[in-house]
Amino acid sequence: FAQATSIMEASISRYASLFVKLASSNADGWEKISEKSGVQLFQNKAEEGKPPINKGVGIVNKPPKEVLAYVRLHTNRKHWDTFYADHKIVKEIEPGFKTILSMRSKGQFGMAP
């Protein structure tokens, strides 16, 4: 369990660094498309045939690691992902450390789930 916790902490640190980099950079092709409630929404045009990438920039009064831990926890996904329908734990290695997860999304772009 200690090794799994260590791996998870390393992953959270890596993604927290990426969050900080994305939130602080408006260069490299990011175009501001709107702002609402103090959050700026940017879009980065992807390659031909791929969907664009969006990011929001705003102030969250929590440390990046705490925000990332919240976003990555599958039980919280319903609070931030409008296409989230539900999930199922497929395999649990140790209590509290879920490794294989199956998620179902709501239909998108006129398609049924």
- 47-73 confidence digits (pLDDT tens): 777 777 888 888 889 998 898 888 878
Across the range 9-27, mean pLDDT stands at: 66
* Strands of the sheet with 30-36, listed across from one edge: 30-36, 39-44, 53-57
Amino acid identity for residue 3 in this structure: Q
Across the range 83-101, mean pLDDT stands at: 71
CB 43 within 8 A of CB 30: yes
d(CA 103, CA 53): 21
Whether pLDDT at 90 is above 60: yes
* Length of the chain, in residues: 113
CA 22-20-6 angle, 5° bins: 120
How confident is residue 99, by pLDDT bands cut at 50, 70 and 90?
Answer: low
How confident is residue 113, by pLDDT bands cut at 50, 70 and 90?
Answer: very low
Mean residue pLDDT of the chain comes to 75
DSSP H or E run through 54: strand 53-57
Q: Which of 75, 80, 46 is nearest to 60 (CA)?
A: 80
113: helix, strand or coil: coil
Q: Is 15 exposed, middle or buried (0-12, 13-18, 19+ CB in 10 A)?
A: middle
